[in-house]
Amino acid sequence: MHVRSGDVFQLGQNRLACGDATSPQLVERLMAAKSAKLCMTSPPYDNQRTYGQDKAIDWTPLMKGVCSCLPMAPRGQVLVNLGLVHRKGEFVEYWREWLDWMRSVGWRPFGWYVWDKLSAMPGDWNGRLAPAHEFVFHFNRLARKPNKTKPCKSAGVMKNHSRCLRVKDGSFRRFSHQGRRVQPFKIPDSVIRLPSAKTTGKIERAHPAVFPIALPSEFILAFTNRGEIVYEPFAGSGTTLIASQRLGRRCYAVEQNPDYCRLILERWQAEFKTKPTRLPRQR
């Protein structure tokens, strides 16, 4: 399917826009007056790759522009997956200026999670231990209680103990759990343990940084309910779109590179056996 910048496609209840996620007009057209409960995305890691562009990405202005256009509901949660970058023998906190800016515009840095990939990347890392993790930054304006999605190992077992908790005035109070059964599910841990398993070889060859569908799925399940909208401003190969559809959510996504948009449309059609529809352009 031919794709041009400015195209917007309907994929079932989901949408994909080909264009710049720093454009308020494009994001407004994509969202059609709707707002998202979750932004789950994995932008470029500083200027490590060009992603089909002629030059490296000016990272901080890009992130400020994208985050200025986030179409979030009042209790919308923003989660951003980033990896470490090293230069001249040091790791680079390339996100520092962006973090400060997010705070200044009301997006408080609410949580910092770790994606444990379970196995390290091979190689001699110039004296460093082999990297086996990435980070997920969590921002919000108002908290949303996460869904309990992880099975409890001792679910149904009767509790027969008490414990002490520190309360706001600094004192301790004893809470008794005797006679209560362990709940069946709990909220996810701050360490997400998932292998960096890839998809098909064709997708890997077409896009340099495909992440596993299970990664966005963890956060989609935790911070949205069925039918709610997930926003993805760096759609890449379409992983968050695929995950959202599988989980009964809607995803409204933006991808700047027309080649990657074609890849997403092909991947979507192969997965769900439905043909995307190109929406009419605005005059």
Across the chain, mean pLDDT equals 89
Residue 200 lies in a domain: yes
Residue 2 lies in a domain: no
Q: For residue 188, how many C-alpha atoms fall within 13 Å in the half-sphere facing its CB? A: 20
Structural domain that includes position 169? 151-186
Does residue 130 sit in the same domain as residue 256? yes
pLDDT value for 71? 98
Dist. CA 102–CA 140, nearest whole Å: 10
Residue 283 lies in a domain: no
What would the two tokens of residue 203 be? Answer: 């997708």
What is the tens place of the pLDDT at every residue in 49-67? 554 555 567 899 999 999 9
In the structure, how many helices (H) and strands (E) does the chain have?
7, 16
Cα angle 81, 132, 235 (rounded to 5 degrees) comes to 25
Does residue 168 sit in the same domain as residue 260? no
pLDDT value for 129? 93
Does residue 229 sit in the same domain as residue 207? yes
Does residue 145 sit in the same domain as residue 43? yes
Model pTM?
Answer: 0.88
Residue 229 lies in a domain: yes
Region of poorest pLDDT, from 88-97, 150-159, 217-226, 265-274: 150-159
Core vs surface per residue 38-48: b (16+ CB within 10 A) or e: bbbbbbbbbee
pLDDT value for 45? 83
pLDDT value for 110? 98
Dist. CA 74–CA 143, nearest whole Å: 9
DSSP conformation class of 130: P
pLDDT value for 112? 97
Region of poorest pLDDT, from 205-209, 218-222, 240-244: 205-209
Does residue 164 sit in the same domain as residue 54? no
Q: Which of 186, 205, 233 is the last residue of a domain?
A: 186
What would the two tokens of residue 146 be? Answer: 């996460």
Residue 30 lies in a domain: yes
Does residue 72 sit in the same domain as residue 163? no
pLDDT value for 29? 97
Residue 24 lies in a domain: yes
Residue 216 lies in a domain: yes
Does residue 60 sit in the same domain as residue 121? yes
pLDDT value for 54? 54
What is the tens place of the pLDDT at every residue in 3-57? 999 999 999 999 999 999 999 999 999 999 999 999 999 998 876 555 455 556 7
Q: Which of 132, 164, 186 is the last residue of a domain?
A: 186
pLDDT value for 51? 44
pLDDT (mean) for 218-228: 98
Residues 6+ apart with CB under 8 A from 118: 132, 193, 194, 195, 196
pLDDT (mean) for 233-249: 96
Does residue 197 sit in the same domain as residue 173? no
Does residue 109 sit in the same domain as residue 61? yes
Q: Has residue 211 got a pLDDT over 70?
A: yes
Does residue 114 sit in the same domain as residue 181? no
Share of the chain above pLDDT 90, in %: 70
Residue 1 lies in a domain: no
Top-confidence residue, 175 or 228: 228
Does residue 181 sit in the same domain as residue 63? no
Does residue 30 sit in the same domain as residue 168? no
Q: Which of 137, 167, 186 is the last residue of a domain?
A: 186
- The tally of domains found in the chain comes to 2
What is the CATH number for 79?
Answer: 3.40.50.150
What is the tens place of the pLDDT at every residue in 104-147? 999 999 999 999 999 887 888 889 999 999 999 999 999 999 99
pLDDT value for 120? 85
SS3 content of the chain, % helix, strand, coil (to 5): 25, 30, 50
Exposed/middle/buried for residue 259 (C-beta within 10 Å: 0-12, 13-18, 19+): middle
Strands 172-176 and 86-87, bridge-based pairing: unpaired
Region of poorest pLDDT, from 154-158, 198-202, 250-254, 262-266: 198-202
Q: Has residue 207 got a pLDDT over 50?
A: no
